[in-house]
Amino acid sequence: MTDLKSLILPDKVPQHIAIIMDGNGRWAKQKGMPRVLGHRSGVKSVREVTEAAAEIGVQYLTLYAFSTENWSRPPAEVTALMTLLVETIKGEIRDLNKNGVRLMAIGDLEALPAASYKALMDGIEKTKNNERITLVLALNYSAKWEILRATRQLAAQAQKGLLQPEDIDEQAFENALSTRGIPDPELLSRTSGETRIS
């Protein structure tokens, strides 16, 4: 990384990079392995990309790890992914703290299995004071979910008389998003090499 780092212009480093984690299962299948081994292999890549992003000065790294559509996968695969999430968070806390990584999460988190939700909240709590880089996990997340959630929140405020419909502008909508306070991604990558965003 050090040799490549010398080629990077510090003022050109994106503040926020987002990665759609895709293709791990297909990669494993092509190698004749169970899909879950592909997901396990992806954990190493996540560790490496997080460390590299922090090293070059990226402030936010978002990993789109599990979309709302992923619940339609075979139940055994979903269970394996949720188990992997718990194992990874518990196993990485020490290194996250050592490397100054603050963990955050966006998405319908309370709909996650109880053990996954608990491990996630524990990881967020234990890394909340880290300031080198913020690792945002998008779990049970989709743009449709985000828009619907924000719209309902604004509608509820309007219904209670806390907000007038004409006061709903871009800033009010942005403040209702789960991504509020996080800068928009400047670079988006999909790990499978496919050129689609969903």
Q: Which domains does the chain have, with CATH numbers?
A: 2-142+182-190 (3.40.1180.10)
Cα-only R_g, the chain:
18
Mean pLDDT, the chain, whole residue set? 88
Catalytic, out of 11, 24, 70, 130: 70
Residue 147 predicted with pLDDT over 80:
yes
* CA 46 to chain CA mean position, Å: 11
Give the number of other CB atoms < 10 A from CB of residue 67: 21
Catalytic, out of 3, 11, 22, 95: 22
Q: How confident is the model at residue 9 (pLDDT cuts 50, 70, 90)?
A: confident
- Reply yes or no on whether 11 is catalytic: no
pLDDT in tens, 19-52: 988 756 655 666 676 666 666 677 888 899 999 9
Residue 2 predicted with pLDDT over 60:
no
